[in-house]
């Protein structure tokens, strides 16, 4: 791949990017404040921080799309303001919403981007071939971009960003909404590029990704909060990370109690246990007493970069959900809230969901995992009554979706993967519209809307259009619209995709609180640590259900001598690879 991606002459200056005193404001909003940093060639640099920290603003300055109000920055030796044309040639940029033309094929998109770069597409057949081999898209050159999976779209975006052999590659959250298998492919490609000397800046909301970077820049409120290796920041938490083990069914209650302790700064459910991080200088007395009271085992565990990130920003949001506190306990006639049997959906010759069967208990958090295109969203839409199954049956709170779709919709809340918000309406109008759709009116409607505004901090945004909101607030608004009518069943399709870890903690505080009140929650996610928050996880692959068990049981199934303590991501990849081998064996038997 060297000929396709490496610069023509090796750089004499080891610094690919130099940022000196860069500030940027939009009206009264200070997006960046006196930023100073260096990014080196041949290294992968992670750019992390909460929503609104200034990550995308910095990316756009480095690509010459925005000019700083003060200070200056150079990329590959070129000033981002004075040498703007050279900056566009020296950088490859893949924004959060990459502009693929969905009605064009893979090859047509690549030819178009070559032309936009001033290249003669007909004279660059060899370059196209190398990029297609590098991204493993060669078999799909004639497929329309709109028909690609999320992971394949990102690979095509990367191929287009590499078109002009940039010296510096800027990737703004390239793995959002991408499954672990596709993420591995992206990592493989980026590692090859840095090995050849390219500087790669990877903005990410996945802190396990940041942990794999050579160095990280951590932004908070427009300022640089940390600049160094992930390991150095993680090392600051030595002796402060613990796990309460064998907690069992009470782990959400235990987590809420732990987060209310003055000595605890952060915590999450982790399989059958609870992971907690102590505040700086805090002793273990309170958590030891908690462990003794609930007869749990307290064990010190290695710190993670995510722990260090949350700690640096002051800790998590706490364990009490104001949303759940005001909710009466859910009462259902049956302990089974959601069920499906032999659920199948075909679109022409394509089978999106193939004979899927499972049951979800009242108050259970049930995770639906799988690679992009596995059938997760299709299954969700059938269970919500938004898609009619080709065959099979599904029930929600005892109602048959084949005959009672209208009645079912009032019993569930649905937060779509792509926000089900109305861009022409303001935030307040979206809340009012959703309340009306779910039959709330009069004083009840007004009270519920005010409750959502207060719980989710929407007051400053009420007159704004949803598209103008930071991502975290878009997600809060979408969740508010889904839960305002207090449904006993909640469907969340990638609810935290792209948001920062602190906002994810806030969402899961609400989800855990709702489950404790008896709300049944079905959730899809590509954050593998979030899969550990679930009671059980169903794994879909190629439209079929290939595994259904607790997170801990799925991890045990992936254990080996080489990997005695696998992660959920390891379990995910193990299941996919095992199914691929089983498919090969079935094909050989059939032959």
Is residue 198 within 8 A of residue 106, CB to CB? The reply is: no
Q: Please report, for residues 202, 240, 428, the alpha-carbon distance to residue 233 in angstroms, rounded to integers and kept in the order given.
A: 18, 13, 41
Q: Do residues 291 and 164 both lie within one domain? A: no
3-class SS of residue 53: coil
Q: Please report, for residues 92, 137, 235, 483, 531, the alpha-carbon distance to residue 383 in angstroms, rounded to integers and kept in the order given.
A: 42, 33, 45, 17, 20
Q: Do residues 429 and 473 both lie within one domain? A: yes
Task: For residue 586, name the pLDDT band (cuts at 50, 70, 90).
Answer: confident
Q: Do residues 53 and 163 both lie within one domain? A: yes
More confident residue, 217 or 89: 217
Average pLDDT over residues 264-272: 92
What is 270-303 written as a DSSP string?
Answer: ETTEEEEEEPTT--SHHHHHHHHHHT-EEEE---
With respect to residue 10, please indicate whether it lies within any of the assigned structural domains.
yes
Residue whose tokens read 């679109």: 347
Instruction: Give the span between the Cα atoms of 472 and 73, in whole angstroms.
Output: 29
Question: Residue 358 is inside which H or E element, if any?
Answer: strand 350-361
Residue-wise pLDDT for 313-360, tens only, equals 899 988 899 999 989 999 999 999 999 999 999 999 989 999 999 999
Give, as one character, the DSSP assignment of residue 105: B
The CATH number of whichever domain residue 294 belongs to comes to 3.30.70.100
Instruction: Provide the pairing of β-strand 15-26 with 29-40.
Output: antiparallel
Of 121, 89, 119, nearest to 108 by C-alpha is: 121
Q: Is the pLDDT of residue 4 over 70?
A: no
Of 98, 256, 74, 286, nearest to 177 by C-alpha is: 98
50 phi and psi angles, rounded to 5 deg: -65, 170
Give the CA-trace dihedral at 73, 78, 83, 88, to 10 degrees: -100
- Which are the contacts of 496, defined by CB distance < 8 A and separation ≥ 6? 475, 503, 504, 507, 508, 525, 527, 530
- Which are the contacts of 453, defined by CB distance < 8 A and separation ≥ 6? 428, 431, 459, 462
Q: Is the pLDDT of residue 500 over 70?
A: yes
More confident residue, 90 or 8: 90
Tell me, rounded to whole angstroms, the distance of Cα 326 from its chain centroid.
Answer: 28
Instruction: Give the span between the Cα atoms of 49 and 173, in whole angstroms.
Output: 12
Give the residue from 293, 319, 345 where a domain finishes: 319
Average pLDDT over residues 514-522: 96
The CATH number of whichever domain residue 70 belongs to comes to 3.40.50.300
Q: Do residues 219 and 291 both lie within one domain? A: no
pLDDT at 426: 96
Crossing angle of helices 251-259 and 501-516, in 10° steps, is 130
Q: Is the pLDDT of residue 539 over 90?
A: yes
**Which two structure tokens, joined as six digits, stand for 458?**
């929407």
Which one of 21-35, 140-154, 394-408, 561-575 scores highest in mean pLDDT?
A: 21-35
Average pLDDT over residues 292-301: 95
Average pLDDT over residues 265-275: 92
Q: Is the pLDDT of residue 493 over 80?
A: yes
pLDDT at 153: 84
Residue-wise pLDDT for 32-65, tens only, equals 999 999 999 999 999 998 878 899 899 999 999 9
Residue-wise pLDDT for 462-472, tens only, equals 999 998 888 88
* Least confident window among 238-242, 315-319, 539-543, 554-558: 315-319
Of 128, 122, 205, nearest to 163 by C-alpha is: 128
pLDDT at 417: 67
Residue-wise pLDDT for 158-182, tens only, equals 888 888 889 999 998 887 767 777 7
Average pLDDT over residues 17-45: 95
Task: For residue 12, name the pLDDT band (cuts at 50, 70, 90).
Answer: low
With respect to residue 587, please indicate whether it lies within any of the assigned structural domains.
no
More confident residue, 10 or 583: 583
Task: For residue 7, name the pLDDT band (cuts at 50, 70, 90).
Answer: very low
With respect to residue 214, please indicate whether it lies within any of the assigned structural domains.
yes
With respect to residue 574, please indicate whether it lies within any of the assigned structural domains.
no
Q: Is the pLDDT of residue 3 over 80?
A: no
Instruction: Give the span between the Cα atoms of 179 and 149, in whole angstroms.
Output: 10
Instruction: Give the span between the Cα atoms of 310 and 277, in whole angstroms.
Output: 10
Q: Do residues 508 and 480 both lie within one domain? A: no
3-class SS of residue 498: coil
Task: For residue 9, name the pLDDT band (cuts at 50, 70, 90).
Answer: very low
Q: Is the pLDDT of residue 10 over 70?
A: no
Task: For residue 419, name the pLDDT band (cuts at 50, 70, 90).
Answer: low
Instruction: Give the span between the Cα atoms of 191 and 168, in whole angstroms.
Output: 14
pLDDT at 181: 78
Task: For residue 497, name the pLDDT band (cuts at 50, 70, 90).
Answer: confident
| Structural domains in the chain (count) | 4
Q: Do residues 142 and 191 both lie within one domain? A: yes
With respect to residue 97, please indicate whether it lies within any of the assigned structural domains.
yes
Residue whose tokens read 């049951």: 359
* Least confident window among 15-19, 196-200, 327-331, 369-373: 369-373
Give, as one character, the DSSP assignment of residue 144: B
Q: Do residues 95 and 218 both lie within one domain? A: yes
Alpha helix positions (H), 179-284:
180-195, 207-210, 230-235, 251-259
Q: Which domain holds residue 292?
A: 236-319
Q: Do residues 394 and 298 both lie within one domain? A: no
Residue 192 burial (10 A CB sphere; 0-12, 13-18, 19+)? middle
Give the residue from 273, 291, 319 where a domain finishes: 319
Instruction: Give the span between the Cα atoms of 71 and 87, in whole angstroms.
Output: 17
Q: Do residues 498 and 556 both lie within one domain? A: yes
Is residue 32 within 8 A of residue 54, CB to CB? The reply is: yes
End-to-end CA distance of the chain: 38
HSE-up (13 A, CA, CB side) for residue 54: 25
Residue whose tokens read 């802190």: 207
With respect to residue 576, please indicate whether it lies within any of the assigned structural domains.
no
With respect to residue 33, please indicate whether it lies within any of the assigned structural domains.
yes
Give the CA-trace dihedral at 466, 467, 470, 473, to 10 degrees: 20
Average pLDDT over residues 565-588: 88
Mean pLDDT over all residues of the chain? Answer: 90
Q: Do residues 382 and 268 both lie within one domain? A: no
What is 307-356 written as a DSSP string?
Answer: HHHHHHTT----S--HHHHTSPPP--SSSEEEEEEEEEEEETTEEEEEEE
**Which two structure tokens, joined as six digits, stand for 79?**
């000033």
Q: Do residues 368 and 467 both lie within one domain? A: no
Instruction: Give the span between the Cα atoms of 417 and 381, in whole angstroms.
Output: 11
Task: For residue 255, name the pLDDT band (cuts at 50, 70, 90).
Answer: very high
Is residue 351 within 8 A of residue 540, CB to CB? The reply is: no
Instruction: Give the span between the Cα atoms of 489 and 473, in whole angstroms.
Output: 23
pLDDT at 440: 93
With respect to residue 416, please indicate whether it lies within any of the assigned structural domains.
no
Q: Do residues 432 and 497 both lie within one domain? A: no
């Amino acid at each position: 791949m060297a000929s396709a991606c490496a610069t023509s002459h090796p750089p004499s200056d080891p610094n690919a990017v130099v940022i000196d005193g860069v500030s940027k404001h939009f009206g009264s909003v200070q997006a960046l404040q006196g930023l100073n940093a260096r990014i080196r060639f041949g290294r992968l640099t992670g750019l992390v921080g909460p929503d609104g920290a200034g990550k995308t603003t910095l990316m756009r300055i480095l690509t010459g799309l925005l000019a700083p109000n003060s200070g200056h920055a150079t990329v590959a030796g070129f000033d981002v303001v004075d040498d703007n044309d050279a900056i566009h040639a020296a950088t490859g940029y893949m924004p959060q919403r990459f502009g693929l033309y969905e009605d064009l094929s893979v090859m047509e998109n690549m030819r178009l981007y070559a032309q936009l770069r001033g290249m003669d597409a007909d004279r660059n057949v060899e370059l196209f071939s190398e990029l297609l081999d590098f991204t493993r898209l060669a078999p799909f050159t004639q497929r329309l971009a709109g028909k690609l999976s999320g992971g394949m779209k990102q690979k095509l975006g990367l191929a287009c960003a590499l078109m002009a052999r940039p010296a510096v590659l800027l990737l703004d959250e390239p793995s959002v909404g991408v499954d672990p298998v596709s993420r591995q492919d992206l990592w493989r490609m980026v590692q090859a590029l840095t090995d050849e000397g390219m500087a790669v800046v990877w903005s990410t909301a996945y802190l396990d990704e940041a942990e794999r970077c050579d160095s990280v820049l951590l932004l908070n409120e427009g300022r640089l909060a940390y600049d160094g290796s992930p390991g150095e920041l993680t090392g600051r938490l030595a002796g402060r990370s613990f796990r309460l083990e064998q907690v069992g069914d009470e782990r959400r209650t235990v987590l809420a109690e732990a987060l209310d302790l003055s000595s605890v700064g952060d915590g999450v459910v982790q399989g059958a246990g609870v992971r907690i991080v102590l505040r700086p200088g805090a002793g273990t007395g309170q958590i030891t007493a908690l462990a003794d009271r609930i007869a749990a085992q307290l064990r010190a565990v290695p710190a993670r970069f995510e722990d260090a990130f949350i700690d640096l920003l002051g800790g998590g949001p706490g364990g009490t959900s104001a949303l759940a506190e005001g909710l009466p306990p859910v009462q259902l006639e049956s302990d089974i809230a959601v069920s499906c049997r032999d659920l199948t959906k075909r679109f022409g010759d394509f089978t999106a969901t193939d004979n899927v069967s499972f049951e979800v208990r009242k108050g259970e958090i049930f995770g639906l995992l799988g690679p992009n295109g596995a059938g997760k969203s299709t299954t969700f839409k059938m269970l919500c009554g938004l898609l009619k199954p080709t065959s099979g049956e599904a029930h929600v709170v005892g109602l048959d979706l084949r005959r009672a779709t209208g009645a079912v919709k009032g019993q569930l809340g649905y937060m779509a993967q792509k926000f089900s918000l109305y861009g022409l309406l303001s935030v307040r109008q979206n809340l009012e519209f959703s309340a009306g759709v779910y039959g709330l009116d009069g004083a009840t409607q007004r009270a519920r809307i005010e409750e959502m505004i207060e719980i989710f901090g929407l007051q400053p945004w009420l007159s704004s259009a949803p598209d103008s909101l930071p991502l975290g607030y878009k997600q809060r608004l979408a969740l508010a619209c889904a839960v305002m009518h207090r449904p006993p069943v909640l469907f969340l399709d990638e609810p935290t995709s792209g948001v920062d870890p602190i906002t994810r903690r806030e969402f899961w505080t609400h989800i855990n609180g709702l489950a404790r009140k008896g709300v049944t929650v079905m959730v899809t996610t590509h954050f593998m640590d979030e899969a550990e928050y679930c009671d059980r996880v169903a794994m879909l692959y190629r439209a079929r259900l290939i595994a259904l068990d607790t997170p801990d049981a799925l991890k045990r199934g992936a254990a080996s001598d080489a990997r005695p303590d696998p992660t959920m991501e390891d379990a995910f990849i193990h299941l996919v690879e095992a199914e691929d081998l089983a498919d090969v064996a079935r094909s050989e038997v059939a032959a």
